[in-house]
Amino acid sequence: MRTANPLPEVPPHGGRLVNRLLSGAEAEEARAQAAALPAVSLSSRALADLECLATGVYSPLEGFMDGSDFQAVVSGMQLAGGEPWTVPVTLPVGDAVAGWVKPGSRLALQWQGAPLGVLEVSDCFRPDKEEEAVQVFGTGDADHPGVAALYEGEDFRLGGTVWAWDLPRQDPFAPYRWTPAAVRKAIADRGWRSTAAFQTRNPIHRAHEHLQKVALEVVDGLLVHPLVGTTKQGDIPPEVRLDTYEAVLSHYYPRERTLLTVFPAAMRYAGPREAVMHAIARKNYGCTHFIVGRDHAGVGDYYGTYEAQEIFDRFSLDDLGIQPLKFDHAFFCRACDQMASIRTCPHSTEERVVLSGTEVRRMLRDGEHPPPEFTRPEVAEILVDAFQESGAQRA
């Protein structure tokens, strides 16, 4: 089945794709000026945010949020100007910086001692971390990885516009680090009128494949867009995950209808709110649809199974500008002898091949391949090899 009237090309959030990335002579001049500025060292999460701000992933933001945008997002899931936005994007700093910085101050943003950007400060504020945790993450529990990162971070935040250059490119993901402008061009070159994005922080398995291929029945193209920013301890390394996507796409997908690039953001594990943020970001990449599966961006049992889908009902399509594709939990049913969901399968849970993350990790550590009903053999081989190698290195 194909959509009779596919959606037109989606404009960036706020109407304009932000570009705060300098190159050539402009970058050289900015780098020289930054050498004379006071510096703030970026965490890996802040570095990911800087890349997303500079390249337009977070359009219409042109920098880290000031206090008014921050409070509007925390309390009302919108920017001060009214555009939907669900997760704060701020730069944490300590007392030493907060004690002297003021609006108009310019700071060099450093990563591993090298300046990568400049922040022109518009605001310095101290948020209520407990309120932020409860509103954004839905809990104040410090065992939640996103809440833990919030509580452990610095107490003050800086807001202001940014310029950046020399963002990290010498990594395994360099060939896949496409800016929103580059992805938009690729979509246009392929003639796709409608494109569905798939966000993931896990290796691809048969349930993922099922959702993606159902989406391909109703849209022209698929953007497989794995997140490669900071994740919590215990998550499978992004290089390994990327290998699994390449293996499956090369064997089981029409390559002329798929595009694999990476999403540079860090995970916040904010569940429903982060699902909306992920959708807005993919709108900025030029996608018309966004796949939302079970417990999107969730962790533990902090969120309801379909809470990340239900939050989209709080936004109009006109305001959000990207169509969510909501899917039930998919699994392989032995009785049906195919992938299915609770909407299509009449059989009991005993017929369904469903493995927990804990069970899959145990199998991989023991050198045991998960069954083909759960993941493709090519993916299982990659994961077993990666787990065996990491175990040998620890030994």
Length of the chain: 395
Per the annotation, the verdict on 31 as an active-site residue is no
Cα angle vertex 374, ends 370, 375, to 5°? 75
Q: Which neighbouring-strand residues pair with 110?
A: 41, 115
CA nearest neighbour of 276 among 316, 305, 225: 316
Q: Which of 20, 177, 184, 201 is catalytic?
A: 201
Helix (H, G, I), strand (E, B) or coil at 261: coil
> By the 8 A CB rule, do 253 and 289 touch?
no
Q: What's the number of CA atoms in the CB half-sphere (13 Å) around residue 251?
A: 11
Helix (H, G, I), strand (E, B) or coil at 241: helix
**Helix (H) / strand (E) containing 394:** helix 377-394
CA distances from 355 to 331, 361, 371 (A): 10, 10, 10
Per the annotation, the verdict on 19 as an active-site residue is no
Q: Which of 19, 45, 202, 294 is catalytic?
A: 202
Query: Residue 60: what are its φ and ψ, rounded to 5°?
Result: -90, 10
How far, in Å, CA of 86 to CA of 132, rounded?
11
- Please identify every residue annotated as catalytic: 201-202
